[in-house]
Amino acid sequence: MKHQLTSSHLTIFESELFRTTSTCVITDDYLLIVDPNWLPSEVAYIRQFTELHGKDRSKYLLLTHSDYDHIIGYGAFPGFMTIASQRFIDNPEADKQLQQTIAWDDEYYVQRDYPLCYPVINYPINGEGQDMKIGNDDYVFYQAPGHNYDGLLTFNRSRGILIIGDYLSNIEFPYVYHSFADYRTTLNTLEAIIHSGEVKVLITGHGNHTTDRVEMERRVADSRAYLDGVELAVRSGTDFDFERLVARYDFPGVMGAFHGKNVLLAGVEFGGN
Ligand SMILES: [Zn+2]
């Protein structure tokens, strides 16, 4: 499986599907895996990696949000202590996400050696800026709704590792399944964390991580520009220049559908013409 990044305490795996990332943090006393995903061989690879490097360490599994592509590997990691937002537990669409994992495997004749199930969470994260000690590392969590209902930002303050799920991707414009207003609030939270100067590496759910602060800020600005552009088009009843937008992305074919859904949601949220 592709390692997008390998360093002494941090490994970022990258799936061949949708360039989805799985992050693994390993220190002397714990191992944390985030969103292990997609294909059975890839999940098995990550599981072997955690078996090899997780000996004599506490093992944690963190879910950035409940979109089905991010929870599909959960069942392969029994015994790991799980972390996600309280909203992840309360999510009214939990069963829908689980059904999507089952439907996806069914559609592509995919067989797994572990059960598909909706993750049971041992450490629910409530509120804003909640601290947690994992091993000797200091973590702080922020709620991140907008892309979906139950997103969570995870910042390992001790090592400057910021894990954000499906925000600030370099290969996707914002996919807004939940709320434009919440999405903007989450961008503000991300900007504040980045401005703290403590972030050494920012890890997005799909695409490239970045260690460059200018790049981090550019991604925030790009996301805002997109949301503003969609809102303006919806409010004024004018056309959004979609061709110009997708020209900069590697996978424009699939993106029209996501943009169309964003416009529909914006229509509901902003009451366009
Ligand atoms: Zn995703």
Neighbours of 62 (CB within 10 A): 26
pLDDT of res. 272: 54
Residue 226 Cα to ligand 1 midpoint, Å, equals: 18
**Structural domains present in the chain:** 2-176+185-212 (3.60.15.10)
As a whole number, the mean pLDDT across the chain is 96
Over the stretch 192-233, which tens digit does the pLDDT of each residue have?
Answer: 999 999 999 999 999 999 999 999 999 999 999 999 999 999
Lowest-pLDDT choice from 22-26, 92-96, 120-124, 246-250 = 246-250
Residue 165 Cα to ligand 1 midpoint, Å, equals: 7
Residue 166 Cα to ligand 1 midpoint, Å, equals: 5
Measure the CA–CA gap between 112 and 115, rounded to whole angstroms: 7
Over the stretch 160-193, which tens digit does the pLDDT of each residue have?
Answer: 999 999 999 999 999 999 999 999 999 999 999 9
Measure the CA–CA gap between 125 and 134, rounded to whole angstroms: 14
Residue 273 Cα to ligand 1 midpoint, Å, equals: 31
Whether residue 253 is predicted with pLDDT greater than 90 in this model: the reply is no
Q: State which residues have CB under 5 angstroms from ligand 1, the bound ion.
A: 67, 69, 166, 205
pLDDT band for 36, please (50, 70, 90 cuts): very high
Whether residue 273 is predicted with pLDDT greater than 60 in this model: the reply is no
Residue 236 Cα to ligand 1 midpoint, Å, equals: 31
Residue 65 Cα to ligand 1 midpoint, Å, equals: 8
pLDDT band for 73, please (50, 70, 90 cuts): very high
Strand partners, 125: 85
pLDDT of res. 153: 98
